[in-house]
Chains A and B, each alone.
Chain A
Amino acid sequence: MYNGGKIIAGIVIFIVLVTFPIWFSFSNESLGKKPEPKKPVGYEHCVEDTAYMKAFHMDLLNNWRDSVVRDGKGLYHSKAFKGETYPMSLSDTTVQSCMTCHSNKADFCDQCHNYVGVTPYCWDCHVEPKGNQ
């Protein structure tokens, strides 16, 4: 083999670089950690059941936004909990909004959002509850 040493060295460097994400994550403290969103104390359930909220809260919030801003509606009728209504609001402090119960963004929203690396732009405009500071 001509230039065997160089080729083998090159292959080794190549493998090290390609597998960088794998061995780097082993050396990272965050490995094996799971997000731990803190649930608000003293409340039995959210506006829908937990499984639905985990999977579809972003769709729900989008629907709420359209319903409030574009249709001028205000109250959401829960599908899982018949007869229960909730104000459709993320952060309005004058009604019972999402952030009334989930009063700390860092302890709740950010936990999973940071874990999966998504940055929703809700808080670019909406005002974070003071529980955060």
Chain B
Amino acid sequence: MDESRRCFLKTAGASIVGMGVGASAVTALADALGDTPYLGAKTAKRWAMVIDTRSCAETKGCTKCMDACHRVHNVPTIEDPRHEVKWIWKEPFRHAFPSMFEGTHGYEDRVQPLDWLKDRDVMVLCNHCDNPPCVRVCPTQATWKREDGIVMMDMHRCIGCRFCVVGCPYGSRSFNWKDPFGKPGSEERKNAKLDPSFPTRTKGVVEKCNFCAERLAKGMMPACVETCAKEGPGSLTFGDLADSESEVAAILKQAYTIRRKAALGTSPHIFYVV
């Protein structure tokens, strides 16, 4: 009895001392290492998204994910299709998956008989490929693949050469042909409704979906996913593909999913449930 109490006191004492030393060591180490991520930042080995086109198509006319994304990222609404800027948008199935009806896709035997599918609207966005052609062609490394799979854009570095726009087989990249909200310092710009938490862009840079890297860093889910879950049918699922316990992995296990233009070898990481 005595001995066990002694043991307990010893261990407790050592733990308290250890915790104190540990905590100060962690602070000192962090200061020495320099910048650190936010506490509570969302991290993954491989981010991926699953889009359930069934429930998405059922809610006709819903544009909530697009609106949310374009609002938080200050994406302008430009009527002229030659100048428009898009991060996430709707495309008829036959446009999103063109090769599927031409017999070059690999799983057309399962999809081709589904003729009614052709006209279903599906959400399309940057596919955050494993082997992104846009990154290969970028001469300034303004776009690159992060270790967690996100294909990022550094607007500060973009020189507007548009190689990536041509390189991307999904049309996911938009070029700013003009200042999206008027010239800097102009009245138009001052009166523009902008979300001050995210920068806008200038004429001459390319932009695209960034999987809400800035929101993940602050511990939030991507804007489209969050909005679809709260206000829409919940068709968008986002998570760590490398984690077999994750929500995306669970859907991939039980549902039949396809990817856009998989035969090109870019290994896109947006999965569509059809």
Contact = CB atoms under 8 A, between A and B. Distances in A.
Interface of A: 64-65, 67-77, 79, 82-83, 85, 87-88, 91-95, 121, 123-127, 129-130, 133
B218 A74 contact: yes
Given A93-B197, A127-B195, A127-B199, A75 B35 contact: yes
Nearest to A94: B197
Contact of A76 (B35, B154, B201, B202): B35
Interface residues of B, number: 33
A83 to B, nearest CB: 6
A65 B156 contact: yes
Nearest to A91: B196
B161 interface: no
B154 A74 contact: no
Contacts of A75: 35-39
Contacts of B200: 125-127
B194 interface: yes
B31 A127 contact: no
Contacts of B194: 127
B184 A124 contact: yes
B36 A73 contact: yes
A129 B154 contact: no
A133 B34 CA distance: 36
B160 to A, nearest CB: 13
Q: Which of B155, B197, B201, B213 has the most CB of A within 10 A?
A: B197
Interface of B: 27, 30-31, 33-39, 41, 74, 144, 146, 152, 154-156, 184-185, 190, 194-202, 213, 217-218
B35 A73 contact: yes
A15 to B, nearest CB: 39
Contacts of A127: 74, 194-196, 198-200
19 contacts: A64-B35, A67-B35, A70-B144, A70-B154, A73-B35, A74-B35, A74-B36, A76-B35, A87-B38, A88-B35, A91-B199, A92-B198, A93-B196, A95-B218, A121-B184, A123-B184, A127-B195, A127-B200, A129-B196
A69 B185 CA distance: 25
B199 A126 contact: yes
Given A125-B199, A125-B200, A74 B217 contact: yes
Nearest to A77: B31
Nearest to B43: A72
B38 A74 contact: yes
A75 B218 CA distance: 11
B37 A73 contact: yes
Contacts of A129: 196
A72 B38 CA distance: 9
Contacts of B34: 67, 77
Contacts of A74: 35-38, 41, 217-218
A95 B39 CA distance: 13
A125 B198 CA distance: 9
